[in-house]
Structure 1
Amino acid sequence: MSIGLAFFHGWGLSSAFWNKLRAALPDYPHAVIDRGYFGGTCNTPWHLADQWVAIGHSKGWADALHYTRQHQGAPEWAATVSLCGFTHFCARHADDAGQARRVVERMVKVFGKAPHEVLNDFLSRCELTDCLPTSDQALTLLALQHDLTALIDMDVSQLFESLALPHLALAAQDDVIVSPALSATTWSSTPHTELIWHPTGGHALGHAHADWCAQAIRRFVTTVNRPGHG
């Protein structure tokens, strides 16, 4: 069976985030889902492969879990790959790993007044300033604010567990957005999941260290494509 790769970017980004990684994975059909924050569009040639692996960066991984239920004609995933991803972003209780709710709530509040400032600051902390929109790209403010707000209460833990899919998680030990503690808590005890660490990369894995990510993904996809798997 042929396998394709479906790419979902994270908050404050566009499908251009994936350019380096896609170039390093030329042997598979690609589908690209763009949230339209900067006016981008989707390209979903589902007919080009028999099975599809969803690859999501940050919140994009959680978006991928919902995608097949929200879009008629979309395939069921054979597996998923997370780069700096999570099942929940904000801490759910005092002892939980994750960002403090007040941090994201403040981002939402400031975004309403100074969206460019919030976006620039966030992508700077992600080590993704080269992914900032160009001067001729207008921000789709409603989509950005809606998805930023959704991070506060988002939790796809039960949905993920119900899918029982093979899963690869790539995480960076110096990620200041999704801490190593959150990555470890999220993936280390999850069935069917392999967690691989890179010492650097921040919140930019996939854009950063694209060749390393591609190697890990290619190896993982070969296991998904074995007879009887998926």
Structure 2
Amino acid sequence: MSLPLVLLHGWGLTPAVWRPLVQALPAMPDLRTPALPGHAGAPAAPPELHAWSDALLPQLPDGTAVLCGWSLGGLIALDLAARHPERVARLILIGATPRFVSAPPAGAADPWPHGLDAAAAQDFVTRFGLDPTAAMQRFTALQALGDGRRRAVSAALAEALDDTGPENTSALADGLRVLTTADLRPAAARIGQPALLLHGDGDALMPVGAAQWLAGCLPRAQLLRFSDCGHAPFVSRPAECAAAIGRFVLD
């Protein structure tokens, strides 16, 4: 019997983004797609990664589960695997990184070249504060960059965008703060669960170098790269992702 599978989506989206993957997956007796804090009507949480992870912990199955996180959901999955290893049997990371924003260049202290430029990240935060709807549409377009199925991916992501009404904007801004401040590089070596990394070679938000770094740092990791694919391989190539996940979960 397979372990329960929990899918954690990315910033600004809803669990509906998983629809192409869920339709392609083999039958799973316990498949869950919870909403991140402040998304899709879920209660908000303080703008810290630990707080967001702790808010999701009660939604995990009792015992252990396979935890799959995409983008911001990948950061949360990494954090849960590091701090609550008794709840996470296996880890699947899609378009994931231990740190979203780049650090100082080589030669400086603690460099991280595999992230979004810090100035570009801050510019996006500012744009979101001024016009949340336009900023989220731009973010969706960035996720489809580098993908041979760019138009279809953009359309699918747009359909799963969260509401940007005034009552939701604050919670989404908190999510941006989590995304742009988290740094799980120190915790990665402590994550001992088997891990499957799925990453698009053309990912413009979280470069494939971040996945290669994780694959080399996580003690029991395997990396599967998708050519001609951007930040959302499970949307662009759902059948291939589902097959890889099915083998990993049911093995």
What TM-score bracket applies, with the shorter chain setting the length? Answer: 0.7 to 0.9
- Contact kept in structure 2, 1:98 and 1:182, CA below 8 Å: yes
Task: Give the TM-score, by structure 1 length.
Answer: 0.83
Is 2:35 the partner of 1:34? yes
- Contact kept in structure 1, 2:14 and 2:160, CA below 8 Å: no
* Distance in 2 (alpha carbons) for counterparts of 1:25 and 1:135: 22
Report SS of the residue matched to 2:16: helix
Q: 1:117 to 1:84 in 2, by over 3 A?
A: same
Partner residue, 1:228:
none
- Contact kept in structure 2, 1:20 and 1:206, CA below 8 Å: yes
Report SS of the residue matched to 1:107: helix
Cα deviation, residue 135, structure 1: 9.9
- Contact kept in structure 1, 2:114 and 2:209, CA below 8 Å: yes
Q: 1:78 to 1:10 in 2, by over 3 A?
A: same
Match of 2:234 among 206, 214, 222: 206
Partner residue, 2:23:
23
Comparing 141-150 with 116-125, greater Cα deviation is found at 141-150
Partner residue, 1:12:
12
Match of 1:172 among 191, 197, 200: 200
Is 2:138 the partner of 1:112? no
Q: 1:66 to 1:135 in 2, by over 3 A?
A: closer
Match of 2:118 among 78, 83, 101: 101
Is 2:122 the partner of 1:122? no
Match of 1:161 among 189, 203, 220: 189
Report SS of the residue matched to 2:7: strand
Q: 1:39 to 1:176 in 2, by over 3 A?
A: same
Aligned length: 219
Cα deviation, residue 151, structure 1: 2.3
Cα deviation, residue 136, structure 1: 9.9
Match of 1:60 among 50, 73, 76: 73
- Contact kept in structure 1, 2:95 and 2:198, CA below 8 Å: yes
Partner residue, 1:87:
98
Q: 1:193 to 1:134 in 2, by over 3 A?
A: closer
Match of 2:157 among 126, 131, 138: 131
Cα deviation, residue 184, structure 1: 2.0
Q: 1:163 to 1:183 in 2, by over 3 A?
A: closer
Dislocated runs of 4+, deviation >3 Å: 40-45, 65-71, 133-139
Higher helix share: 2
Comparing 168-177 with 180-189, greater Cα deviation is found at 180-189
Report SS of the residue matched to 2:90: strand
Report SS of the residue matched to 2:104: coil
* Distance in 1 (alpha carbons) for counterparts of 2:80 and 2:132: 26
Render the CA deviation track for 1:141-183: whole Å, top value 9, x for unaligned. Answer: 1121111122222111233322311100011111111112232
* Distance in 2 (alpha carbons) for counterparts of 1:97 and 1:63: 18
Partner residue, 1:227:
none
Question: What 5-or-longer segments of structure 2 have no aligned partner?
Answer: 44-55, 107-112, 145-153
Report SS of the residue matched to 1:145: helix
* Distance in 1 (alpha carbons) for counterparts of 2:82 and 2:219: 22
Cα deviation, residue 196, structure 1: 0.7
Task: Give the TM-score, by structure 2 length.
Answer: 0.77
Comparing 59-68 with 149-158, greater Cα deviation is found at 59-68
- Letter of the structure 1 residue corresponding to residue 232 of structure 2: A
Give the root-mean-square deviation of aligned CA atoms.
Answer: 2.8
